[in-house]
Amino acid sequence: MRALNRKLLRDLMRLRGVVMAIALVLMGGVSTFIMSLSTYDSLVLTQAKYYRDYRFAQVFASLKRAPNSLARRLLDIPGIEKVETRVVAAVNLDIPGFDDPASGQLVSVPDRGKSRFNDLYVRRGRTVDPSRDDEVVISESFANAHQFRPGDTLSATINGRRKALTIVGIVLSPEYIYEIQPGSVFPDYKRYGILWMARAPLAAAYDLEGAFNDVALSLAAGANLDDVLDRLDELLRPYGGRGAYGRHDQLSHKFLAEEFGQLETMATVFPVIFLGVAAFLLNVVIGRLINTEREQIAILKAFGYGNAEIGWHYTKLALLIVAVGLAGGVAVGILLGKGMSAVYQDFYRFPFLEYELKPAVVINAALVAVAAGMAGTLFSVARAVRLPPAEGMRPETPPEYRATLVERIGLQRWFAQPTRMIMRHIERRPLRALLTVIGIASACGVVMVSNFQEDAINYMINVQYGMSSREDLAVNFVEPTSARALHSLRGLTGVTHVEGFRNVPVRLHFEHRSFRTALQGVEPDGDLYRVLDKDQKRIKLPAAGVVMTDYLAKILGMKPGDWVTVEVLEHSEPVLRAAGVARPRTFQFADVLAASQPALRIPLVAVTKQYLGVSAYLQRDALNRLLQEGDVINGAFIATDSRHQSEVYTRLKEMPRVSGTVVREAAIAQFNQTMEQMILFFTMVSAVLGAVIAFGVVYNSARIALSERGRELASLRVLGFTVGEIAYILLGELALLTLMALPLGFMLGRALCAYLVSQFESDLYRIPLIIESDAYSFATMVILVSAVVSGFLVWRRLRQLDLIAVLKTRE
Amino acid sequence: MSTTEANGVVFQARGLTKVYDMGQVQVHALRGVDLDLYSGELLVLLGASGSGKSTLLNILGGLDTATAGHVLYRDRELTTASDSELTEYRRHHVGFVFQFYNLIPSLTARENVAAVTEITRDAMAPEQALAMVGLGERVDHFPAQLSGGEQQRVAIARAIAKRPSVLLCDEPTGALDSTTGVVVLEVLERVNRELGTTTALITHNADIAAMADRVVRLADGRIVDVQRNIKKKPARELRW
């Protein structure tokens, strides 16, 4: 081995503390990078494979009732490849030992052969026997929530008749990766489940023999989705079609797409920050390390080593450090990535997981790390070789210090010499001090982000459920019903207050934009449901006109005063039929419709600040008038007396017209529970990585400062300074820089959170930028602990300073 | 004309000037030095601290460049040479010995020498060079395990292993006691005699001047005196 390579290895051994600290920071950056991106890629791959293997449909439509023969006509629509008709129905469930109201969706499985679409993955047990009318398979989330096993029974109220059902299997479906009850924002697996049963008995129960009320379809290659949807709507309208939609409006897919979108943001923003900070540190630290080699560089130059050879020599040093960090980072990243993917697999209930680490991810991490390491090295080497060797071998001329600003303005008498040394040192190398501050501040910012989500979500829930939506229960009726139904609800023991509402699925159009949502007709002076402005003050619903969620107005590009066009998507007899307005680009239909049915237009009066979902609100009377119907509701908000809650539940279950009940508190608790494990894992990872960064910055700064100033400090020891006093000079500077970094870190953390919040904005929810004091104190604690630990490690080294060496050698 | 002068001129310096710019002050290290160095000669540069002798040596060795004037090494112009030309010059032609040895601490004696022999052509084996300085037994010791005199002899072995045509020594005994210093000087004397290496040696110790062929005195950046020793004193007889 060449002598210089030997030097390299021995230098690495000698510097192992610093090498490990640098490698650790890089490891943090690389492992986050690998973890996040591989998790994201794995989930996307798994989802795609799941969708493909289990034939997730591309178009969905539900309707009131159509004969099976209509399926043939659907196939005639250009662009449609395959069709499968189904029977889907809402049911109330009665679960042994569970008093709360529970509801679900019954979906038919074909009598013969496999489903064409949305195939079931049987986790346990078997699929239903088509000849049996009492067998069901249930979704895994629902099964787990109640610890159902194949063989267990539950009863369901199917079309008003109570029926005992035997669970024969536990399944997963690509159609219900997210199982969310219509009208609810969070999944609640205890109170809402998906059940599948044979088609014939299900159809019989709902008078749908020889007919269907739901259809799933796939598109031929190159088909235009919008055209297909228009034609489907046209064809299904006479049969009470509720508006066909593509995957992007399918509830489960939509939630998943939103989550994946967020994951993608997390998977790019975070690792890039981490890797960026790690690269920055690598650059700074390696640069300073090379600076301490200034004399050796001069010797090598004196003996005729060329600049390129010296540059390559130190590049190898940097590359070895990078290699250690990179190897560790990739290994830890894969480990964490697999763990994280498993958490998500469980969360989304994917039947399998395809873990994927794209080579490009590793290559990118390596490129960034290598580039940062080499840049730091070469920059410092270039500076070192620029000096004539004669100068390089001399000790650096005493740097020019001067009285600091604090002293110049006459405050020096307040400071002892060591404190002046600290201040002068910082002022002499402001850039270096700034880099250290930025490094520590980034660590602080990263830790803050880890904590902020929880605060924000709590705030969100508090506003949504504490101030706006204050009911204890919300019930939905099977069909629009006369408002007289409210009387029977009011009559229930334990019900203290009832307010009816009327919801109707619509597609809203403004200019060239459109959005599928619901118009919500609520009581203008209601106590249970209140529409709030951005200051959480109640907005009075106008007698005419609509109030929209701010985010919906943004999607549609509307401002108060604009008129929105409403396309009602509810199956309807002419009485309820309102307007059909075509989506853009389908002029032939638009023309026809415009001629036959006047478009329904309403002014936007105000916007409401909402964090969850998007809706448009108006007075229920106004909506009834708009739909040309009488005093009609299709659900109610209920306040209950907690002492009689279970009685209310029991009575509600007995009401055949009630199709689903949402218990607010339970939904929130369930949501918190599911979020907790995700957030906990995330918080832990970011806190650890933030700590690693902080430790890396402080420890490396201190170690290198020690090697740069060791002689100076040892001289002071010779002069009679104690270890504590010289530690004050060295570590006091770092303590000062750490304290200076905290406010900057808070700002950085806030900016990062703001960025994430803007990236996370979706029609499902918008996270408010709420950072409570605990996020600040947690970040402060992580930074200070890291700083203290590295300070302690350096202090131990200060005790071992060789005093004799200072006296013997030159300077 | 002496024998060494007949062998030809190795260095020819004319009007050599060096000014260090130290911010507010300018330091004139050399103020127009004219000097010739002859092949095989052992030259001692004598002068007080700050007289400019190190600057002169550094410029001759290609470690530094002059502000004005010329230096010719054989027929090569050093004052206008590029960084890579100076590197090539130092690599193949010059051996340095410094006051503080400047060994690479993480390499053993042998490896310190090898670090230099690996990049030159026609070098001695490191062991041979170390044997020449009387350290044949201590080749695998690290600098920290060697005494000052031994370290300086490793430095000399490192400088001569490439068979340089000039050996430039800056206060080689400056950090050593006189007994050890004499041992080091004996090694330098032997290298000069046996390998015929042109040697320039800087010292502020006038006693050492007795071993030189010629003694050049510098003061305040100028040559103030050049003296030829008719009879050289062997290094082992030197005392201070």
Q: What is the DSSP letter of A210?
A: T
H-only helix segments in A147-217? 199-205
- The answer, yes or no, to whether residue A578 has pLDDT greater than 50, is no
Confidence of residue A514 (pLDDT cuts 50, 70, 90): confident
Nearest to B90 among A295, A302, A391 (CB): A302
Nearest to A810 among B63, B83, B100 (CB): B100
Helix (H, G, I), strand (E, B) or coil at A548: strand
| Cα-to-chain-centroid distance, residue A195 | 29
User: How far apart, in whole angstroms, are the C-alpha atoms of residue A242 and residue A256?
Assistant: 23
User: How far apart, in whole angstroms, are the C-alpha atoms of residue A156 and residue A105?
Assistant: 10
Indicate yes or no: CB of B90 within 8 angstroms of CB of A303. yes
Q: Which residues from chain A sit within 8 angstroms of residue B22, using beta carbons?
A: 397
- The answer, yes or no, to whether residue B103 has pLDDT greater than 70, is yes
Name every residue in A having a CB less than 8 A away from some CB of B.
2-4, 6-7, 10-11, 14, 295-296, 299-307, 309, 388-391, 393, 397, 400, 809-810
Q: What is the DSSP letter of A175?
A: G
Indicate yes or no: CB of B111 within 8 angstroms of CB of A7. yes
User: How far apart, in whole angstroms, are the C-alpha atoms of residue A476 and residue A636?
Assistant: 7
Residue A600, beta-bridge partner list = A566
Helix axis angle, A16-53 to A3-14, nearest 10°: 90
Q: What is the mean pLDDT of residues A662-688?
A: 72
Q: Which residues from chain A sit within 8 angstroms of residue B92, using beta carbons?
A: 304
Do the beta carbons of residue B66 and residue B16 sit within 8 Å? Answer: yes
Nearest CA in chain B to A393: B102
Residue B225, beta-bridge partner list = B217
Domain count, chain B: 1
Indicate yes or no: CB of B88 within 8 angstroms of CB of A302. no
| Cα-to-chain-centroid distance, residue A437 | 30
Total Cβ atoms within 10 A of residue A32: 30
pLDDT of residue A709: 79
Indicate yes or no: CB of B22 within 8 angstroms of CB of A397. yes
State which amino acid sits at residue A665.
Answer: E
Looking at per-residue pLDDT, the higher value among A551 and A255 belongs to A551
In a domain, B85, yes or no: no
Backbone angles phi, psi at B233, to 5 degrees: -95, 130
Q: How wide is the angle at C-alpha A212 spanned by C-alphas A209 and A213, nearest 5°?
A: 130
Do the beta carbons of residue A435 and residue A282 sit within 8 Å? Answer: no
Q: Which residues from chain A sit within 8 angstroms of residue B119, using beta carbons?
A: 303-305, 309
User: How far apart, in whole angstroms, are the C-alpha atoms of residue A136 and residue A116?
Assistant: 19
User: How far apart, in whole angstroms, are the C-alpha atoms of residue A218 and residue A582?
Assistant: 22
Confidence of residue A677 (pLDDT cuts 50, 70, 90): low
In a domain, B80, yes or no: no
pLDDT of residue A591: 37
The beta strand positions in A311-391, using DSSP E, are none
Token pair for A278: 């790690």
pLDDT of residue A127: 92
State which amino acid sits at residue A12.
Answer: L
Q: What is the mean pLDDT of residues B210-214?
A: 94
Q: How far is CA A87 from CA A235, A493, A643, in A?
A: 18, 36, 39
Do the beta carbons of residue B207 and residue B181 sit within 8 Å? Answer: no
Nearest CA in chain A to B164: A303
Give chain B as a DSSP string.
Answer: --HHHHT-EEEEEEEEEEEEEETTEEEEEEEEEEEEEETT-EEEEEE-TTSSHHHHHHHHTTSS--SEEEEEETTEESTT--HHHHHHHHHHHEEEE-TT----TTS-HHHHHHHHHTTSSSPPPHHHHHHHTT-TT-TT--GGGS-HHHHHHHHHHHHHTT--SEEEEESTTTTS-HHHHHHHHHHHHHHHHHH--EEEEEES-GGGGGG-SEEEEEETTEEEEEEE-SSPPPGGG---
- The answer, yes or no, to whether residue A272 has pLDDT greater than 80, is no
Total Cβ atoms within 10 A of residue A194: 22
- The answer, yes or no, to whether residue A308 has pLDDT greater than 50, is yes
Confidence of residue A460 (pLDDT cuts 50, 70, 90): confident
Nearest to A14 among B61, B102, B106 (CB): B106
CA distance A392 to chain B (A): 10
Looking at per-residue pLDDT, the higher value among A440 and A669 belongs to A440
Confidence of residue A573 (pLDDT cuts 50, 70, 90): very low
- As a whole-number percent, the residues of chain A with pLDDT over 70 amount to 90
Nearest CA in chain A to B144: A805
Total Cβ atoms within 10 A of residue A751: 11
Nearest to A7 among B89, B104, B175 (CB): B104
Do the beta carbons of residue A293 and residue A300 sit within 8 Å? Answer: no
Q: Tell me the pLDDT tens digit for each residue of A46-89.
A: 999 999 999 999 999 999 899 999 999 999 999 999 999 999 99
Helix (H, G, I), strand (E, B) or coil at A573: coil
User: How far apart, in whole angstroms, are the C-alpha atoms of residue A6 and residue B115?
Assistant: 10
Q: What is the DSSP letter of A658?
A: E
Do the beta carbons of residue B77 and residue B64 sit within 8 Å? Answer: no
In a domain, B112, yes or no: yes
Q: Could you tell me which of A11, A2, A715 has the C-alpha nearest to residue A296?
A: A11
Q: Which residues from chain B sit within 8 angstroms of residue A400, using beta carbons?
A: 23
Helix (H, G, I), strand (E, B) or coil at A588: helix
In a domain, B26, yes or no: no
| Helix, strand, coil abundance in chain A, percent, nearest 5 | 55, 20, 25
Find the CATH number of the domain harbouring B207.
Answer: 3.40.50.300
pLDDT of residue A785: 92
pLDDT of residue B53: 92
Helix (H, G, I), strand (E, B) or coil at A617: strand
- The answer, yes or no, to whether residue A585 has pLDDT greater than 60, is no
Helix (H, G, I), strand (E, B) or coil at A452: helix
User: How far apart, in whole angstroms, are the C-alpha atoms of residue A665 and residue B3?
Assistant: 108
- State the average pLDDT for chain A: 83
Q: Which residues from chain A sit within 8 angstroms of residue B87, using beta carbons?
A: 301, 304-307
- The answer, yes or no, to whether residue A5 has pLDDT greater than 50, is yes
User: How far apart, in whole angstroms, are the C-alpha atoms of residue A137 and residue A119?
Assistant: 13
In what helix (H) or strand (E) does residue A619 lie, and over which residues does it extend?
A: strand A616-619
User: How far apart, in whole angstroms, are the C-alpha atoms of residue A301 and residue B116?
Assistant: 11
Q: How far is CA A554 from CA A312, A732, B114, in A?
A: 55, 51, 73
Residue spans of the domains in chain A: they are 63-252, 429-467+667-811, 495-640
Q: Could you tell me which of B154, B197, B149 has the C-alpha nearest to residue B41?
A: B197
Which site among B21, B64, B87 would you substitute to test the A interface, given the most A Cβ atoms closer than 10 Å to its Cβ? B87
Helix (H, G, I), strand (E, B) or coil at A398: coil
Residue A586, beta-bridge partner list = none
Do the beta carbons of residue A74 and residue A235 sit within 8 Å? Answer: yes
User: How far apart, in whole angstroms, are the C-alpha atoms of residue A325 and residue A373?
Assistant: 11
A412-416, A575-579, B91-95: least confident range: A575-579
Nearest CA in chain B to A12: B106
Indicate yes or no: CB of A304 within 8 angstroms of CB of B116. yes
pLDDT of residue A679: 66
Q: Is the dihedral of CA A615, A621, A623, A624 positive or negative?
A: positive
Which site among B18, B24, B63 would you substitute to test the A interface, given the most A Cβ atoms closer than 10 Å to its Cβ? B63
Q: Tell me the pLDDT tens digit for each residue of A356-401.
A: 899 999 998 899 888 878 887 888 778 777 777 777 776 655 566 6
Provide the residue range defining the domain that includes B199.
39-62+92-237
- The answer, yes or no, to whether residue B233 has pLDDT greater than 80, is yes
Name every residue in B having a CB less than 8 A away from some CB of A.
22-23, 54-55, 58, 61, 63-65, 83-84, 87-92, 94, 96, 98-100, 102, 104, 106-107, 111-112, 114-116, 118-120, 158, 175
Nearest CA in chain B to A301: B87
Nearest CA in chain A to B61: A302
pLDDT of residue A411: 66
Q: Tell me the pLDDT tens digit for each residue of A465-512.
A: 888 888 888 888 878 888 888 998 998 888 999 999 999 888 899 988
User: How far apart, in whole angstroms, are the C-alpha atoms of residue A448 and residue A445?
Assistant: 5
Indicate yes or no: CB of B111 within 8 angstroms of CB of A296. no
Nearest CA in chain B to A810: B100
Q: Which residues from chain B sit within 8 angstroms of residue A306, using beta carbons?
A: 84, 87-88, 91
Confidence of residue A804 (pLDDT cuts 50, 70, 90): low
Count of CB pairs separated by less than 8 Å, A with B: 85
- The answer, yes or no, to whether residue A697 has pLDDT greater than 90, is no
Helix (H, G, I), strand (E, B) or coil at A528: coil
